[in-house]
Structure 1
Amino acid sequence: MAENKISENIEEYLEVLYRNGSNKEQVSTTQISNELGIAPGSVTQMLKKLEKLGYIDYTPYKGATLTDEGMKIAQKITRKHRILEKFLIDVLKVKEENVHSQACEMEHALSDEAERALCAMLNNPDLCPDNNIIPACNFDFDSCRQCYSQNDFDQIVNRQFNLLSISELTSTTEGIVSFIRGNSDLLDAIAELEITIGSQLKFEYTEIPTGNYYPVIVDDNELNIPLEMANNIFIRI
């Protein structure tokens, strides 16, 4: 599962873009500059570089959106960061004010194998301590059950497309259910709603739901998906 090493600087930029535009919304140069504490001119130069690398689409004076390749990298590093935050607080009992900076330092060095082990130890968490969604892993599994059944990490292959959970959607979106996260009880509860791998799901955006349910259409059936499930049902985008 060897991959080309991507610089920490590039990962930080892509992480900011994902944090502010996970559903491929445009993120302004000013917003990136403010979050990273870097001069706007330097941000602009980096965005041009990222566009040449194929990680973003950049519009001068407006901002940038992630490409599919950029999204893949951004989700991976964001996932590692948020799982590490969960581990640092829940297991190591690190002070909350120190967690973000320590996770930033550790995320770039965390191997995929160690990430998978942390996920299993933490029982497939869906939220980081700040209640932000932990992205799905990029391993080619339909569910966590499949992950548990594969003991040899070297036999695991990467998924070739990106995913978003229902609760991450911020515009009208259609996609195929391609991964369902969680323990056996949650997986069984989702199956009882007749939501399975391959189901066609549509989210019609009017405004981001403020309650505990997400209204969706699954295989022509209108459903109100509880937030806990919405965090763990992922569609291919």
Structure 2
Amino acid sequence: MAADKNISENIEEYLEVLYRNGSNGEQVSTTTLSKDLGIAPGSVTQMLKKLENLGYINYTPYKGATLTDEGMKIAQKITRKHRILEKFLLDVLKVKEENVHEQACEMEHTLSDEAERALCTMLHHPDLCPDNNIIPACNFDFESCQDCFSQKDFDQIMNRKFNLLSISELTSSCEGTVSFIRGNEKLLDEITDMDIKVGSHLSYEFNENRVSNYFLVTIDEKELNIPLEMANNIFIRI
């Protein structure tokens, strides 16, 4: 399945910037969008109104915009492809680091879902792009990367019906259900040893003064300090 031809590259770019600046539901200002996209504020405002009419964002004049569930779905998908491509271009093809972002931008809109999955497998389920930004979870209906690896026929893969965020992406207090765990067998075993599994209930109290590289969460009524490497790969449905 290729990228959705009904969604223009321009729309995908806007949603991608909104996700980059507000993945956890934060409101992104018109000024921020204007600077990131290099587009005049007036033109940004007109596009935001269009995106709201399409159901991709919630827009408040003079304040900014947040992604709807549908907008988040599209934004995560294109962001994931971009960041996986960056890692592939840098680590495998040895493209110059200063050229990686621009080339990934050109390729992300045409990368098929099947090719994205193949790249993810070849790169051993990466969690971070070269800029150390989180690579979002895939939207395939798996509980772990091992489930993905065991499914050989791409045409039989179903898409997940809801969006996910990793623990390390959480920027406000929330709770949800662990719905996907990414990583190799060793990491999956380490997470299982902490009694974390798909279906576990997780709650998180945001603390600006938290210990760096650890996230204090409550999972099934048990308080745990989750190291960053694990937090990058444990995804919850909020």
TM-score w.r.t. the length of structure 2 is 0.98
Counterpart residue identity of residue 92, structure 2: V
Q: Does 1:94 align with 2:95?
A: yes
Q: Does 1:19 align with 2:24?
A: no
SS in 1 for 2:71: helix
Question: CA offsets per residue over residues 82-119 of structure 1, 9 Å max, x none?
Answer: 00000000000000000000000000000000000000
Over 3 Å counting, the alpha-carbon distance change for 1:188 and 1:158 in structure 2 is: same
Structure 2 equivalent of residue 186 of structure 1: 187
Over 3 Å counting, the alpha-carbon distance change for 1:56 and 1:208 in structure 2 is: farther
Offset of 1:209 from its aligned partner? 3.8
Question: CA offsets per residue over residues 29-78 of structure 1, 9 Å max, x none?
Answer: 00000110000000000000000000000000000000000000000000
Structure 2 equivalent of residue 70 of structure 1: 71
Counterpart residue identity of residue 82, structure 2: H
Write the distance in 2 (CA, Å) between the matches of 1:64 and 1:4. 24
Write the distance in 2 (CA, Å) between the matches of 1:116 and 1:94. 21
Q: Does 1:53 align with 2:54?
A: yes
Structure 1 equivalent of residue 154 of structure 2: 153
Counterpart residue identity of residue 48, structure 2: L
Over 3 Å counting, the alpha-carbon distance change for 1:208 and 1:152 in structure 2 is: farther
1:202·1:217 contact (CA, 8 Å) conserved in 2? Answer: yes
Write the distance in 2 (CA, Å) between the matches of 1:146 and 1:187. 12
Offset of 1:211 from its aligned partner? 1.1
SS in 2 for 1:201: strand
Structure 1 equivalent of residue 82 of structure 2: 81
Structure 2 equivalent of residue 123 of structure 1: 124
Q: 1:99-118 alignment to 2 at 5 Å?
A: 99-118=100-119
Structure 2 equivalent of residue 136 of structure 1: 137
Runs of 4+, deviation exceeding 3 Å: 1-4
SS in 1 for 2:58: strand
1:89·1:95 contact (CA, 8 Å) conserved in 2? Answer: yes
1:170·1:208 contact (CA, 8 Å) conserved in 2? Answer: no
Q: 1:193-232 alignment to 2 at 5 Å?
A: 193-207=194-208, 209=210, 211-232=212-233
SS in 1 for 2:225: strand
Over 3 Å counting, the alpha-carbon distance change for 1:206 and 1:196 in structure 2 is: same
Size of the alignment, in residue pairs? Answer: 237
What percentage of aligned pairs have identical amino acids?
A: 79
Write the distance in 1 (CA, Å) between the matches of 2:63 and 2:109. 29
Question: CA offsets per residue over residues 130-167 of structure 1, 9 Å max, x none?
Answer: 00000000000000000001000000010000000000
Offset of 1:210 from its aligned partner? 5.2
Write the distance in 2 (CA, Å) between the matches of 1:234 and 1:81. 19
Counterpart residue identity of residue 116, structure 1: R
Offset of 1:173 from its aligned partner? 1.0
TM-score w.r.t. the length of structure 1 is 0.98
